[in-house]
Amino acid sequence: MSHPNVGILPQEIIDFLLSPGGHSLLVKGEAGTGKTTMALQIIEALSDQQPEYYLSSRVSDIALYHQFPWLKERVQRNQLMRAGMAFLRRSWAKEGARRELGEAEPQVDRRELNRLEGQIEAGELGLEEEEGEVVHPDGSITVEIGSVLPELEMAYDIVESNLPRKTLVVLDSVEALAESYGIPAFRIVSAVQKDLVERADTNAVFVMETADHSHLDYLGDGIVVLRNPVQGNDRVRTMEIEKLRGSSIRNWRYLFTLEGGRVTVMGRDLALGDVRLTRGDGLPLPGRGSFGWSELDRVFGGVPTGSMTLMEIGPGMPLEMMERLEDAMAGEPLRQGRGVLWYPQRTLDYGALAERLQGVPMETLHVLDPGEADPRPFVKKVEGEDLASDLRWDSLRYLLRGAGAPYVSLLGLDMLEAVYGGNVVPKLLQHVDQMRRGGHIVVVEATQGSAGLEALSHQARLHFRLEDINGSVMV
């Protein structure tokens, strides 16, 4: 089983590496995309099932521990992780290393490795050799590496010492290792693929320092590409699963974060449980109220009091998700006995609303409705002719008497424009100004199609956008 609190990797990748036989996985991406983090997390997730060998030719183990403090803890607990060149600088001969690790039966077939080392010792390979394969008369293929290969020897030794158990070998990165040998990366991947993956049923993860397509893609059984493209004014991390040979791919593309030094992919089903209610945790920061959604409170420190917050709703946001968020923003102040004015973004089903807010005191809730009168005590009928009149502060303040402050006003801009006409911003700002002076909170919901969106954006102290990107809610 995987360990708790280690981030979330796509389950299809874990299933791929746990399936029978050996498999190779290429983890590709430019600098800073999270390749090393993902490689280490794969090791952590599989450490209960597979002993591992981790070779980092780019950074020392000390640097790894500094960047990933959780890694040292797991090393001390499991005595499984092997990282950094310091570990690999062995002073003993090949035979001595085997005696140290212990002979294992059955043994790894080292024909490719032995052939490579023989060519190196004979001086048949050098830095000037062209990349490619040598096809022998018997049909066998030699992949030329051209250097002494102590790190790869160690990988073979560790795989052999664990047979018949499957070992997980991670090379981070293949390009850096190839550069240290003065040879093309293709030759390393091909040798490991033939000897360890295909003949010894080893799992091999090759970290690649580019997302570009290359002939290496044909060697790997699986390919995962990490990217962090700019979308709007932000960078959005994406993980693309290009292939997992022999395994099904449920989702080919995920959004993910590296928060806390862990890869955490985001679900694609927009589960309502992703909106975690604050439930009485109080003001996130001085001078701010709660959104009622813990994630928004964490990102923004809460909703500013004495100001207007503009929440822009991007295309494709599911109705259920918006309902959950609105319920959270109304529910948290209601639990505190504070006054809530709510002019919904759309027509509400009051029966469903009462069901969703079950257990939340509703004595201080006032829903402003220009439609037919409703007998429910929290519904206040408004005329729907003049916005300034329907939001007249004297009437609203009287309505809120006895409720705690700061009050919260939730206003749906699209509905206001549909009822009162397109140019509602001047009259809406009269209400906003009254709420500001009293140190209260105004949250306006709007879409890209709202006529007054741009004008309100200049008046908002906080303006954020909720968008459905690849099935995940992004702020």
- Pick the last residue of a domain from 265, 297, 321: 265
What are 198-212's pLDDT values in tens digits? Answer: 999 999 999 999 989
For 162-191, b where at least 16 C-beta lie within 10 A, e where not — what string? bbeebbbbbbbbbbbbbeebebbbbbbbbb
pLDDT at 318: 76
What global pTM score does this model have? Answer: 0.58
411 CB-contact burial (10 Å; exposed 0-12 / middle 13-18 / buried 19+)? buried
Q: Give me the pLDDT at residue 271, please.
A: 39
Query: How many domains in the chain?
Result: 2
- Does any domain span residue 1? no
Start-to-end C-alpha separation, the chain = 32
User: Of 145-149, 265-269, 391-395, where does mean pLDDT reach its minimum?
Assistant: 145-149
User: Residue 137 has what pLDDT?
Assistant: 47
Alpha helices, DSSP H only, in 206-318? Answer: 294-300
For position 130, what pLDDT does the model report? 41
Residue 267's nearest CA partner among 335, 321, 230, 217 is: 321
Say which residues have a Cβ less than 8 Å from residue 357's Cβ, sequence separation at least 6: 327, 330, 331, 334
pLDDT digits (tens, 9 = 90+) for 118-173: 766 766 654 444 444 444 445 554 444 434 578 888 889 889 988 999 999 999 88
Predicted confidence (pLDDT) per residue in 283-312, tens digit: 456 678 888 877 778 778 888 899 999 999
Indicate if the pLDDT at residue 58 is higher than 90.
Answer: no
Query: Among residues 236, 265, 294, which one ends one of the domains?
Result: 265
Q: Which residue has the higher pLDDT, 406 or 114?
A: 406
Q: Is 114 exposed, middle or buried (0-12, 13-18, 19+ CB in 10 A)?
A: exposed
Q: What pairing do the DSSP bridges indicate for beta strands 238-244 and 253-257? A: antiparallel
Q: What are phi and psi of 418, to 5 degrees?
A: -70, -35
Sign of CA dihedral 18, 211, 174, 186: positive
Phi/psi class of residue 5: alpha, beta or left (left: φ > 0; alpha: ψ in -120 to 50)? left
Whether residues 200 and 56 share a domain: the answer is yes
β-strands 238-244, 222-227 pairing: antiparallel
Question: Domain end: 265, 283, 309, which one?
Answer: 265
Residues 29 and 49 grouped into a single domain? yes
Q: How confident is the model at residue 322 (pLDDT cuts 50, 70, 90)?
A: confident
Q: Find the domain containing 84 and state its range.
A: 11-265
E strands along 173-320, which residues? 203-208, 222-227, 230-231, 234-235, 238-244, 253-257, 264-265, 288-289, 303-304, 307-313
- Identify the band that residue 341 occupies on the pLDDT scale cut at 50, 70 and 90: very high
46: domain CATH number is 3.40.50.300
Token look-up 């439609």 returns 371
pLDDT confidence tier of residue 365, bands split at 50, 70 and 90: very high
